[in-house]
Structure 1
Amino acid sequence: MRRYELVGRRDIRPVADAPVPTPGPLEVLVRVRACTVCNRSDLAYFHYYGLREHAATGCFGHEIAGEVEAIGEGVRRVAPGQRVFVRTPLTTGYAEYALAREISVGALPDSVPFEQGAILQLLPLAVHATRGIRLGDRVVIVGQGPVGQMALRIAVLRGAAEVVAVDLDDWRLARSTEAGADAVHRVDGSAGQLAEVGGRFDVAVDAVGTPTTLNACVGLVRQNGLVVLLGTHHVDTHVTLDLVTWERKGLRVHSSAEPLDAARAEALAVAERIAHRRPGILRLPDLLTHTYPLDDLPKAMEQLSASRALYPDAEPAPYQGPPPETLKVAIVP
């Protein structure tokens, strides 16, 4: 089969005759119909391979939609021929086939095209990240890239009384408004402008993953408020925090990661129900902005790499914000 492999820093290479994986017990082989590029992890692995230890251990190409080709012993939830999306695979989705654990595979509605279905990888992530939002909460989400946009949709669905979206880009914020944001704030990314968003939110979601945005969220929440770590700190892996402020405010914190299979299964089950019963609220067509064939994966990586988020917070960067008019990019084998 054809696939792309990340072999070095900014070095991805096509392989024409890679072996098709064989599913073991509780594993599923998926014929990949689309794989969206992760605007954070895939790009960080691509740019920091060899510079950050985790960049060589994560799965490059992990947002997949396709059809079940074969199942391993003990698989009960899916069957060959079924349309699925994959939360986190065992092998790259930049290929004609990918292997995944059964617990990471969700049923894809017939009404959702595969290119949009691959974006559903973000849905269980957003479900788990927003688990602390309660009915009537005031919520601010810093960062309106794809994962911040998905968190916005789920915050609205959870019954937040007010959802405020913050980003560097007016084009993205316009989509936030269409998805249900009650207010939007355009900032330049500086701590001063982020502080001007206001305060006393019940929940502040860092959907970027930089020292500046995390510390801004600390300032935006009320006493005993909740700070959610949704954006992954792939670039600045060490963040300095004022723990006296955390203690004085009595802040709570949780991440978006599902460290245990029980949490992973619960979030996936909720995501499946939303995708099948409330697909309109997800506005998946608004998130998919570009589609490339597998052979053009380098072009897609180049387009998405024009982003300020790929540079350390304290260092100058050639870009002031995200790639223009770009959210999710789908790769189709």
Structure 2
Amino acid sequence: MRRYELVGRRDIRLVTDVAVPEPGPSEVLVRVRACTVCNRSDLAYFHYYGLREHCSQSCFGHEIAGVVEATGAGVQRVVPGQRVFVRTPLTTGYAEFALAREISVGALPDAVPFEQGALLQLLPLAVHATRGVRLGDRVVIVGQGPVGQMALRVAVARGAAEVVAVDLDDWRLERSSAAGADAVRRVDGSAGQLAAVGADFDVAVDAVGTPTTLNACVGLVRQNGLVVLLGTHHVDTHVTVDLVTWERKGLRVHSSAEPLDTARAEALAVAERLAHRRTDALRLPDLHTHTYPLDELPKAMEQLSASRALYPDAEQAPYDGPPPETLKVAIVP
């Protein structure tokens, strides 16, 4: 089969004679029909391979939709021929086939195209990240890239009384309004503009993952408020915070990571129900903006790399924001 491999910094290579993997116990082999590029992880791995240790240890190409080709011993939730999306695979989705644990595979609705189904990988992540949002809460989400957009949709579904979406880009914020944001705030990314977004929110979600956005969220929440780490700190892996402020405000914090299989299974189950019963509310077509064939993965990486988020917070970047009119890019074998 054909498969792209990340072999060095900004170096991906198409291999055409890779053996199709065989599923072991509790594993599922998926014929990939689409794999969306992760705007944060995949791009960080691509640009920081060899510079950040974790960038060579994780799966490059992990947002998959396809059809179950075969199952290993003990698999019960899915069967060959079934349409599925994958939360986190064992092998890259930039290939004709990918291997995943059964616990990471969700049922894909028939009405959802594979190119949009692949980005459902974000849904269990958003479900888990927003687990602290309660009915009637005031929520601010800093960053309206794909994962911030999905968190917005889930916060609305959880019954937040007010959701404010914050971003550098007016085009993205238009989609935030259409998805249910009560208000949108266009900022330039500076601490001053972020601080002016408001105050006394019950929950502040950092869907970017920079020192500036994390510390801004600390200022936006009320006493005993909740700060959610949703945007992964792939670039600035060490972040300085004022612990006196955290202590005085009595803040709570949690990440979006699912450290245990029980949490992973719970989030995936909720995501499956939302995907099947609230498909229209997810507005997946708004998130899927481009499609490339597998051979053109380098072109997709080039397009998505025109982003301010790929540079350290304190470094002068050649871009003021995200790539224009771009959210999720799907790669199709």
The match for 1:268 is 268
The match for 1:195 is 195
The match for 2:111 is 111
Give CA-to-partner distance per residue, 1:276-297, whole Å, 9 cap, x none: 0110110000000000000000
Which structure 2 residues correspond to residues 169-318 of structure 1 after superposition, within 5 A? Answer: 169-318=169-318
- For 2:331 and 2:93, the matched residues in 1 are separated by 9
The residue type equivalent to 2:28 in the other structure is V
- For 2:62 and 2:144, the matched residues in 1 are separated by 20
The residue type equivalent to 2:60 in the other structure is F
Alpha-carbon shift at residue 120 of structure 1 (Å):
0.2
Which 4+ runs in 1 deviate beyond 6 A? Answer: none
Partner SS for 2:35: strand
Equivalenced residue count is 333
Over the residues paired in the alignment, what is the CA RMSD in angstroms? Answer: 0.3
Alpha-carbon shift at residue 21 of structure 1 (Å):
0.5
Alpha-carbon shift at residue 242 of structure 1 (Å):
0.2
Alpha-carbon shift at residue 302 of structure 1 (Å):
0.1
- For 1:275 and 1:184, the matched residues in 2 are separated by 25
The match for 2:85 is 85
Give CA-to-partner distance per residue, 1:22-68, whole Å, 9 cap, x none: 10000000000000000000000000000000000010000000000
Give CA-to-partner distance per residue, 1:176-224, whole Å, 9 cap, x none: 0000000000000000000000100000000000000000000000000
Partner SS for 1:329: strand
The match for 1:76 is 76
- For 2:178 and 2:125, the matched residues in 1 are separated by 21
The match for 2:123 is 123
- For 1:178 and 1:78, the matched residues in 2 are separated by 34
Give CA-to-partner distance per residue, 1:146-166, whole Å, 9 cap, x none: 000000000000000000000
TM-score by length of structure 1 reads 1.00
Give CA-to-partner distance per residue, 1:231-262, whole Å, 9 cap, x none: 00000000000000000000000000000000
The residue type equivalent to 2:75 in the other structure is V
Ranges in structure 2 where 5+ consecutive residues have no aligned partner? none
The alignment status of 1:325 with 2:325, answered yes or no, reads yes
TM-score by length of structure 2 reads 1.00
The residue type equivalent to 2:124 in the other structure is P
The match for 2:160 is 160
Alpha-carbon shift at residue 229 of structure 1 (Å):
0.2
Ranges in structure 1 where 5+ consecutive residues have no aligned partner? none
The match for 1:35 is 35
Alpha-carbon shift at residue 273 of structure 1 (Å):
0.4
- For 1:280 and 1:225, the matched residues in 2 are separated by 31
The residue type equivalent to 2:267 in the other structure is A
- For 1:16 and 1:75, the matched residues in 2 are separated by 29
- For 1:249 and 1:44, the matched residues in 2 are separated by 33
The match for 1:61 is 61
The match for 2:45 is 45
Alpha-carbon shift at residue 90 of structure 1 (Å):
0.2
Alpha-carbon shift at residue 17 of structure 1 (Å):
0.5
The residue type equivalent to 2:171 in the other structure is W
